[in-house]
Amino acid sequence: MTDGNDAEKYCGNCDSHNSYEYPIKVFCSTRYGKNKNPIVDTLWHCEDYNKVSQECYCTREALKKKNGDKATQS
Amino acid sequence: MERKDYLQTPVKHIKIDGALTVDKLMQQFNGSGALGAGRLATACNIYEKMLKDKDCTIFLALSGAVVPAGMRTIITDLIRKKLVDIIVSTGACMVHDAIEAVGGHHYQGGWAVNDQELYKYHLFRIYDIFVPEEDYVRLDFKLSEMYDNIAAERKGESLASNEFAWEIGKRLTDENSILRAAYEENVPIFLPAVRDSEFGFIHWLHSSQENKKPVLLVDAFKDVPTICNICAKSPKNGMIVIGGGVPRNTIQSSALASKKGLDYAVVITLDRPETGGLSGSTLEETVSWGKMKGHADHVMVIGEALMVFPFIVASVTERLGESFRRNPFLHFENQIKESKP
């Protein structure tokens, strides 16, 4: 469901996230409330995405880790 | 009092030799009898007296950073060795115990740090201790499952906070956990301010799930007759307080409501009495309410609990010796364990 055209739309930028496995996984309280699996990727997003920045480093660090992993693989 | 009565016991100078154990140092403090050292030695003497008094039920009040700072194992060992009978705790102390029970940690940190940066990294600070948010959140997730399970078993019946504590302890497997040890050893843990902790705030998440039923119900008023009856049934009651606040008040008020008054009291605090708040109030003030007997053995140790309490426990257990076994006056039935093995 991640929209590649809108790189800002990440769970790590959503107001429903808390750290779960920093920085790659977050706990989503909105999904928990809807009885859905609340553990999601920091760089994912869903239809309930609500950007209210927590000014945290989750997205930055998750992107760094993802790019670092890619670099390691290549 | 006559003049000579004020001059009964000279201060003895502390002598340090090469083979000084904790209790030997405490005996030197006792010989000085002055200032903080004298209060600390008195606290040890009072706790020893409580333990040797076959009629005394010992309450331990926990507040502040007991677990994050590293005293979790001390409390667990006291429970397992039957050197305390009842725990009255903030919800937060037991939340921190549960965080470690499900694999989380508290980390050595610092107080002169960039808190805005900690916030951005989802790290929480307790003075110079750090806790990662994910350790809280992992507990939250597990607690929500536990709440579902407990609520289903209870079928709408509410729990007292001490029942809640045993239900959580029953579902933890960490032998070093305070909650687990209390559950196994049938030591009641009262959480009079359970709502004011992660236990309370995760309840919001648990209860706001779509189509959630049944919801876990904890009734704080249910604790009152239980803890008052404990005080009433016990010929003597003693308390050791780490910090103060709601746990201290709960013990003191239970002693008052049961018309017993405390026979022993040790309070470890850095709080001051001038605010009129309970945590710093003197034990003499406690006498005015009838919460402590006028002739009770008592002392307030003005100090930070992490430096004070381990010394008290180490000193007293050393002087009691390995062979010391205590048979508490009261024994508690654990219906939770018996009815739902």
Tens digits of residue pLDDT in A6-58: 458 999 999 999 999 999 999 999 999 999 999 999 999 999 998 877 789 99
Residue A7: what pLDDT? 53
pLDDT for B159 equals 96
In one-letter notation, the amino acid at residue B131 is V
- CATH architecture assignment, domain B20-103+134-339: 3-Layer(aba) Sandwich (3.40)
Q: How far apart are CA B176 and CA B80, in angstroms?
A: 10
3-state secondary structure of B123: strand
Chain A residues with CB inside 8 Å of B132's CB? 19, 22
**Interface membership of A55 toward B (CB under 8 Å):** yes
Give the H or E element holding residue B306.
helix B305-320
Please tell me the distance in Å from A50's CA to the nearest CA on chain B. Answer: 18
* pLDDT at site A1: 45
Cα three-residue angle B24-B267-B25, rounded to 5 degrees: 10
Burial (Cβ within 10 Å: 0-12, 13-18, ≥19) of residue B311:
buried
State whether B121 and A56 contact (CB < 8 Å).
yes
B24 as an active site residue: the answer is no
Question: Is pLDDT at B223 greater than 80 in this prediction?
Answer: yes
Alpha carbons B327 and A8: distance in angstroms, whole number: 64
Tell me, yes or no, if A36 comes closer than 8 A to chain B by beta carbon. no
Residues with Cβ within 8 Å of B170's Cβ and at least 6 positions away in sequence, in order, are B183, B336, B337, B340
Please tell me the predicted confidence (pLDDT) of residue A4.
42
Q: Residue A3's pLDDT is what?
A: 42
Q: What is the predicted ipTM?
A: 0.88
- d(C-alpha B296, C-alpha B280), whole Å: 18
Please say whether the beta carbons of B204 and B102 come within 8 A: no
Q: For residue B119, which residues of chain A lie inside 8 Å, CB to CB?
A: 55-56
> Which residues 6+ apart lie within 8 Å of B81 measured at CB?
B317, B326
From CA B175, how far away is CA B97, in angstroms rounded?
A: 11
State the Cα–Cα distance between residues B63 and B67, nearest whole angstrom: 9
Cβ contact, residue pair B133, A33, below 8 Å: no
Q: Can you give the pLDDT at residue B335? A: 76
Residue of A nearest to B139 (CA): A20
Q: What is the predicted pLDDT for the residue at A74?
A: 62
CB < 8 Å to A35, chain B: 209-211
**Do residues A57 and B133 lie in contact, with contact meaning Cβ atoms separated by under 8 Å?**
no
Q: A20–B137: do the CB atoms touch at under 8 Å?
A: yes
